[in-house]
Amino acid sequence: MQRIVYLERDSVIAEVRRPAFAHEWTEYASTTPAQVIERLAGATIAIINKVPLPAAAVDALPDLKMVAVAATGTNIVDLDACRARGIVVSNIRGYAEHTVPEHVLALLLALSRNLVAWRETLQAGRWQQSDQFCLFDHPIRDLHGATLGLIGSGSLGNGVVRLAEAFGMRVLRAERKGATTVRPGYTAFVEVLREADAISLHCPLTDETRGLIGEAELRAMRRSALLINTARGGIVDEVALIQALKEGWIGGAGFDVITAEPPPAGHPMVAPELLALPNFLLTPHVAWASRPAMQTLADQLIDNIEAFVAGAPRNRVA
């Protein structure tokens, strides 16, 4: 009998079917890090999303056989500790291949066409007081003919490429930072920084990608360039980003992720003066969260668990 414990049921709004094998099912709306070991005691399968599963927790759970991550990112799990114990870790793949790219394009369009600034202009009564039919207060740029730099690929990056090319954008796929050779179809990292009118991030958060975009990279970008991050907050140095926005190193930024979620009081990325900037858009980690995408995630989550119990684990990261 498998004992399944779902630690963060409220993190997905979807119907989650029960697995087609004998099991016990326990779920919690949410779980704090301090509650993980107690709630997973005796569990053979843990379903988690964002609550961390560090090595200390893995070592304290002798019955655990599988960790089913209800997301693509697995940086919250100590994979080495799981591998040492022979614990299978599976994640979700491909479920957001439409919703995240659409969010990326929405941020690009809003920033390129200065939608926030135009809204503020109307709220100030400028159009109502105009002596002609339109205003020219804020510049508008087309995506057509612009260059998009893509850092990271996979299904989400490929989805962005599909939509960007439909808008008539030129896409440059960035080679890994610091690579000594450039693969066919890729462009050197530093060249992408210099040439792109917009850069979109789609890589996982790892030791290699943490702080991937810092002061040097932001200063290397065009002063009109846009930076879009729907991946993970830690990929960008937030202190450098805030300085870049305030001092005009880049043209603007659209983010769906930050380093602490939810942000604690005083987090610099939600400071009122930053959120008031018309060239900065921040959404609360919702790029993935369309209803169809969440249902696909939920279905794949149970598929992963059933595959593990059948002896043929899928979507393994450990």
Measured in whole angstroms, the distance separating CA 258 from the mean position of its chain's CA atoms is: 9
Q: Give tens-digit pLDDT for 114-145.
A: 999 999 999 999 999 999 999 999 999 999 99
Is the predicted pLDDT of residue 70 greater than 90, yes or no? Answer: yes
So where are the chain's domains? Answer: 2-95+292-309, 99-282
Neighbours of 247 (CB within 10 A): 10
Q: State the Cα–Cα distance between residues 68 and 6, nearest whole angstrom.
A: 9
Q: What is the mean pLDDT of residues 213-231?
A: 98
Q: Global pTM?
A: 0.91
CATH number for 99-282 (one of 3.40.190.10, 3.40.50.720, 3.40.50.1000, 3.10.290.10): it is 3.40.50.720
Q: CB–CB of 47/6 below 8 Å?
A: yes
Considering the candidates 126, 183, 261, 316, report the single residue annotated as catalytic.
261
Q: What is the mean pLDDT of the chain?
A: 97
Q: Give tens-digit pLDDT for 300-311.
A: 999 999 999 999
Considering the candidates 232, 238, 267, 273, report the single residue annotated as catalytic.
232
Q: State the Cα–Cα distance between residues 270 and 277, nearest whole angstrom.
A: 11
- Scan for tokens 């099991």, then name that residue: 23
Catalytic residue list contains 202 = no
Order of strands across the sheet that contains 147-151 = 170-173, 147-151, 198-201, 226-229, 252-255, 280-282
Which range (151-155, 268-272, 296-300, 301-305) has the least confidence?
A: 151-155
At position 258, the amino acid (one-letter code) is I
Is the predicted pLDDT of residue 153 greater than 90, yes or no? Answer: no
Q: CB–CB of 235/205 below 8 Å?
A: yes
φ, ψ (nearest 5 deg) of residue 180: -85, -20
Q: State the Cα–Cα distance between residues 113 and 143, nearest whole angstrom.
A: 9
Helices (H) and strands (E) in the chain, counts: 11, 11
Helix (H, G, I), strand (E, B) or coil at 282: strand
Q: CB–CB of 97/72 below 8 Å?
A: no
Beta-strand relationship, 226-229 and 252-255: parallel
Helix (H, G, I), strand (E, B) or coil at 68: strand
DSSP state for residue 269 in the 8-state scheme: G
Task: Decide whether 2-95+292-309 matches 99-282 in CATH topology.
Answer: yes
Catalytic residue list contains 27 = no
- The pLDDT-based confidence of 188 (bands split at 50, 70, 90) is very high
Neighbours of 261 (CB within 10 A): 13
Q: State the Cα–Cα distance between residues 118 and 139, nearest whole angstrom.
A: 10
Q: What is the mean pLDDT of residues 52-69?
A: 98
Q: CB–CB of 174/189 below 8 Å?
A: yes
What is the share, in percent, of the chain residues with pLDDT greater than 90?
97
- The pLDDT-based confidence of 265 (bands split at 50, 70, 90) is very high
- Scan for tokens 């040439």, then name that residue: 195
The C-alpha angle with vertex 298 and arms to 294 and 304, in degrees rounded to 5, equals: 140
Q: What dotted CATH number matches 2-95+292-309?
A: 3.40.50.720
Q: Calculate the dihedral angle through the C-alpha atoms of 1, 37, 307, 291, rounding to the nearest 10 degrees.
A: 120
Q: Is the dihedral of CA 32, 35, 39, 44 positive or negative?
A: positive
Considering the candidates 285, 291, 306, 316, report the single residue annotated as catalytic.
285
Catalytic residue list contains 285 = yes
